[in-house]
Amino acid sequence: MEGVGREHDSSVALPVEDFGAAKDTTSVSTKPTRRYPLASWVAILALATLVGVYIFSLSLKQNGMLFGLRQTNMIEKEREQPCHHPGIPETEIPLVHFPTPNTYSRKECACTPVRFFAILSMQRSGSGWFETLLNSHENISSNGEIFSVKDRRSNVTAITQTLDKLYNLDWVSSAAKNECTAAVGLKWMLNQGLMKHHQEIAEYFNRRGVSLIFLLRRNLLQRYVSILANDYDRNTKQLSGTHKAHVHHRGQADVLAQYKPTIDTKSLIAELKRSDKLAADGLVSFKKIRSIVLYYEDVVSNRTKLTDVLDFLKLPKMKLSSRHVKIHTKRLRDHIDNWTDVSNTLNGTQYESFLNGRR
């Protein structure tokens, strides 16, 4: 019996011993294969993520501005999507917008299509008078020389942010109409950051569907006289101590017209060439943007040119008016103190025709 018992104890002990050994072996051999490869994969993924973030940050630095512009455009397009006009020709769709202002609701006019425009001009070319004509239309809001303020044109980002606010109908000015505005824009001088950043601005115009109205002056000598006279009044303030770039009364215009500048004939031709080149460069820089080109002299002599502008903006025709009174109404020779010297300087040059008030 004792032999049998020992045999029984031996038979029981051995399996227990073998099981324990097998258990220990398994625990030693499997733990590393479960923990260390997983940690390695996590480390690799973390490293890859860091590299990806670094590369993406570099890309943002280089293309942040473009990314921002595209993002802004996507947001605007998303906001404009609810309105659809089946009657609008397919070619006109990029030019038609349905802004949703942040500062007020367009209410029943939320789906009234809005056209974006910009008047591109040069100082003393009749743009102030022309803009008041447009603003006399009940559906047009042209908001003046927004970029005469230097901070608004300090860089491309500042420019595009200002334009976004304008074209979203959030710009506040005396020209702002009600929620049913059908065309919104501004007056922008070529020397107010426009030519300095012309590539980026042309891209913006094209992307946002902005139409351009060029208003130039044929007779650059008349323009130069107006510049000199305006500079003189800015310094002397002839009207009760106040500078007036534009006037609404004939008496005020006559006071300002009394000043006759003496023109520096040595620099006159260079000044005319500079003005001529600036206008030509403006036309070339934005030639791919939908535009219409007007000349001040033509608009003055032929008011049907204003009808062409309304057709260009796809707006209903109506009579346009302005309170502006023209300052220099006499012959050009009567507004220049040293007319003989000026005449002798320009005779025989490409600018000779300016002496007769024509080009």
Residue (of 144, 117, 116) closest to 130 by Cα position:
144
- 24 pLDDT band, cuts 50/70/90, is very low
Residue 225 lies in a domain: yes
Task: Say yes or no to pLDDT of 350 above 90.
Answer: yes
Residue 140 three-state SS: strand
For residue 5, is it within any domain?
no
> For the purposes of burial, counting CB atoms within 10 Å of the CB of 155, is it exposed (0-12), middle (13-18) or buried (19 or more)?
middle
Residue 51's pLDDT is 73
Which residue would you say has higher pLDDT here, 69 or 127? 127
Residue 235 lies in a domain: yes
Percent of the chain with pLDDT over 90: 67
Residue 68, in any domain of the structure: no
How many domains would you assign to the chain? 1
312-321 long-range contacts (CB < 8 A, ≥24 apart) are 312/211, 312/213, 313/115, 313/117, 313/140, 313/183, 313/211, 314/92, 314/115, 315/115, 315/137, 315/139, 315/140, 315/182, 315/183, 316/139, 318/137, 318/138, 320/133, 320/134, 320/136, 320/137, 321/133, 321/136
Q: Which domain holds residue 299?
A: 93-356
**What are the tens digits of pLDDT across the range 166-197?**
999 999 888 877 678 999 999 999 999 999 99
Distance CA 64, CA 51 (A): 19
The pLDDT score that the predictor gives to residue 2 is 42
With a cut of 60, say whether residue 295 has pLDDT above it: yes
> Does 347 reside within a domain?
yes
- The rounded distance, in Å, linking the Cα atoms of 289 and 11 is 98
**pLDDT of residue 39 exceeding 70:** no
**44/39 Cα distance (integer angstroms):** 9
Residue 109 lies in a domain: yes
Residue 58 lies in a domain: no
- Confidence (pTM): 0.77
CA distance 344 to 314: 47
Give me the CATH number covering residue 181. Answer: 3.40.50
125 found inside a domain: yes
Least reliable range by pLDDT among 100-109, 194-203, 274-283: 100-109
The whole-angstrom separation of Cα 291 and Cα 334 is: 36
Stronger pLDDT, 73 or 237, i.e. the higher one = 237
